[in-house]
Amino acid sequence: MLKLSLEAIEIIDSIDRGGSFAAAAEALHKVPSTISYTVGKLEDQLGFQLFARHGPRVSLTAAGRELLSEGRWLLRSASDLESRLRRIATGYESELRLVHDSLLPTTALVDDIRAFEVLACGTRLRISTEVMTGSWEALREGRVDLALAIGDPPAGLSHRARRLRAIDFVFCVAPQHPLAAVDHPLAQDDLVSHTAIVVADSARLLPPRTVGLFPGQSRITVSDIEAKIALQIAGLGCGFLPRCRVESALKKRELVAKDVADPRPSEPLWLAWNAEGEGEARKWWRLRLQAQSES
């Protein structure tokens, strides 16, 4: 009898992505004890360890990395087969995977999600976020079906991408930050001596982007835009923020907008999609999001 199952591989994949059993349990909506038991039982059956334990954090062993390398291919193949069979039977995919750049809040999609759920078509929605090039990479690598991505498309993807609208940026600091008192447009000489809060590009394979950082400038790097906003409100650093995410903080004077000599240009928001095997669910989302940009 085979010791590996698709469920076990999915658990191992989630542990690797989250870095801990607890993170995997949250992602898979399971209790941590179930994750721990499944991994321990599988390791006993296989006769070798898949993870090295470092307190609450874990990392794959060499054997675990090899298993997951092939296992992710199996997961993709099984998911593709399930969706293909369901499309043949009903026209709708079993699951639709949508990623959006973290600059765009998930709340911006609430009306779309609600309208899609009214269809009651049986397609499961899986919504995730990435940073900068990470959204493009997720689409290119086949991890998602639709992407709302920032910045120009990488080579080979422009023929299946449509520009929706622009995201505007504003340079922000907390009222107590030293730069808040400067009475002229901020130039490089003003900024370079102050810590910048930057969000790390989540791409693993494509070349990552860095925006709004001067050579030699001190930085604090975070993983998402929410953390960047929180640290800037706390007065721990400065940087450009998407205006759509900080309107409330600006009105409450938690942040103040500053003129800069070299403002950050608006970034285009793109809708991009996997061109192969489009079912009714992907078509519904693609046409709806395109229509919003044209209205």
> Are both 175 and 239 inside the same structural domain?
yes
- For 177, counting Cβ atoms within 10 Å of its Cβ (0-12 exposed, 13-18 middle, 19+ buried), the class is buried
Q: Write down the pLDDT at residue 78.
A: 86
* DSSP E strand stretches across the chain: 51-54, 57-60, 95-101, 124-130, 146-150, 161-167, 169-173, 196-199, 219-222, 239-242, 256-258, 267-273
Q: Write down the pLDDT at residue 292.
A: 77
> Are both 6 and 74 inside the same structural domain?
yes
Q: Write down the pLDDT at residue 273.
A: 93
| Single-letter code of the amino acid located at 20 | S
> Are both 259 and 270 inside the same structural domain?
no
> Are both 187 and 58 inside the same structural domain?
no
> Are both 127 and 179 inside the same structural domain?
no
Spatial distance between the Cα atoms of 163 and 289, rounded to a whole number of angstroms = 10
> Are both 205 and 127 inside the same structural domain?
no
Q: Write down the pLDDT at residue 1.
A: 56
Task: Give tens-digit pLDDT for 194-239.
Answer: 999 999 988 887 766 767 678 888 999 999 999 999 999 999 999 9
Number of domains forming the structure of the chain: 3
CATH of the domain at 46: 1.10.10.10
> Are both 4 and 19 inside the same structural domain?
yes
CATH of the domain at 281: 3.40.190.10
Spatial distance between the Cα atoms of 110 and 149, rounded to a whole number of angstroms = 18
> Are both 152 and 216 inside the same structural domain?
no
> Are both 162 and 271 inside the same structural domain?
yes
Q: Domain of 45?
A: 1-89
Q: Which residues in the chain show pLDDT less than 70? A: 1-2, 88, 158, 207-208, 210, 212, 293-295
Q: Write down the pLDDT at residue 295.
A: 53
CA nearest 282: which of 50, 124, 56?
Answer: 124
Sign of the torsion formed by the C-alpha atoms of 162, 168, 174 and 178: positive
